[in-house]
Structure 1
């Protein structure tokens, strides 16, 4: 049983809540009221907390256990043997161990989101089984309970939402207090660029410390630098953009780029848009007024050799962001709907990457939308409209290169 159970003592000091203190306060009041009020029943009180991995569900329970002086028995449901999860005696070992340890059971990875007929019946049996217990039972998952009719078996279902705006910046600062960090690290920029859960932030800080220590072994001692933090954050991301795009290694700087003053000024303004995004949308509150369209799109056009790709590299280097090159000519398909599918896959992966998208050979798709005379015209217009829609939705940088050749 040790392979899927772990006991958390109430005497252990829980980690910081990192922006979810209000949820903790409400949970304490709600549990106190239900445990001591007129609504007390003989059946178990089932509380479901859901949110993305690393959102802070276990941290919330660690604080509850510390506050109420109750041990917590965490059970990894994905590792519980199949024979112990089904039938009328399901989870007997879990509840027996919880009784011996005088602990509150916490079922982690409870598959509330699956909705096949067999899984629906299995969830119903498990929830009914939980109701036969006494005390409080916690259920943790990454998605809300489905289908809706099963929610009547849960006393409280609560989301642990992603941190927003300044709360994310404050969480970074709280974690950084335990490390030696260089003053050049701007937590506001980091918070606006990487929409991380508290768990991802903690992992990023540990990774940055390792990178800093490795640098010290090479004779470059010092605190965690901005470059360490950026590299550590990118290491936390899980995406498959490499399958559809090629990652570029930007080496060019402003002094390598020869452009008229007007074009250079526009490029710098575009960089400032992303660099100070946290100030405008976070500190000034404009994120409450705009639900989408907060990214930046740049269209580079000109004859071959004028510096379109170089300009993209300079922008990526200036912002310390990864950049992926996408050849649109390889994305477009003659089969109806296939182009949109390829584009959707790219943007879905890009949302996880916090990277700049550089669309090469955009001429392949960005032709003039024409009057619909046949099905081919209609399909071509649909592809362009779909791409424009995804451009508007994407929250980071999009760079488009068009090659205009003289004839």
Structure 2
């Protein structure tokens, strides 16, 4: 089976409600990020065969096709939509990779976008997830102060990444004073006066003192608006390409998809939505967590990430969300999974690590996870299943964030 390569992953900055991206049509943002992927990679648009687009907004069923047209792709490129809640962007990459692996296509664009005010809504499911987060906090003995400290660390790590230029390679500034290439526009749509070049909502000045002043969302609870993720607008995209076509197309891969899994568990007690997917993925691939250089977990709730760190017996201050995540960078639902992958792969390349693991809770009792291998580590030596127990897996170049 052919390996699926990830090429030119990029993202827009995340925008807060009422910020620069508010009111932007989803196909406008999708067109912007797809155009950037094509420009960054240098691919001939006529070699792209399909567009896998993620968007949780049910009002955009033809977004993939419209984004393809807006980015100047041929009319032969159909485009389609994927939806797996918070993991929709990652699912778009996975679906594109499966098309590559099975030979259905050689080059597919994967993208994710979110422009809706609150695509998941304040429904019963949100209440269930909040109640589960409080149960998790009680079960694992996570105090309010710990959750607030984790949230502060997320903001400070993201702010530091911006100060040090870490995000420069992955973020495409969105200047909406002009239309993106190929954009036909909408009647009455005025783009003048907006520009965003970095993530809105990242706060370098936040402290545990300021977060302590927030009221818990449930009486006597741990979760507040400050130690959970907030909705954002944004988009992410990449090329997914067959490894045996890279040289012919003149493309340089950033990583390869090693494996993925989605799984659920009983919801009778406090549950960690991402945990069963990670366990299933590691079981399928034969990896252990201590072989992973970077771990990215979506920060839906700080208490859930802290609980996962305890469950996995890892230090949350090392190799876990090293540049912050959704608490600081926000949660553009349809784009979150691809945004996390983009940030992780750029950091993996920058620090010369080899393996990166992404995990997202899709609810309180199920999740999705994917494992990626950096393309900067040289060719992989194929080993028979179970060979890791006999020491024949090729030596790994450790990243700088390993504990």
Name the TM tier (shorter chain): under 0.3
If the length of structure 1 is used for normalisation, what is the TM-score? 0.24
More helix by share: 1
If the length of structure 2 is used for normalisation, what is the TM-score? 0.24
Bigger CA radius of gyration: 1
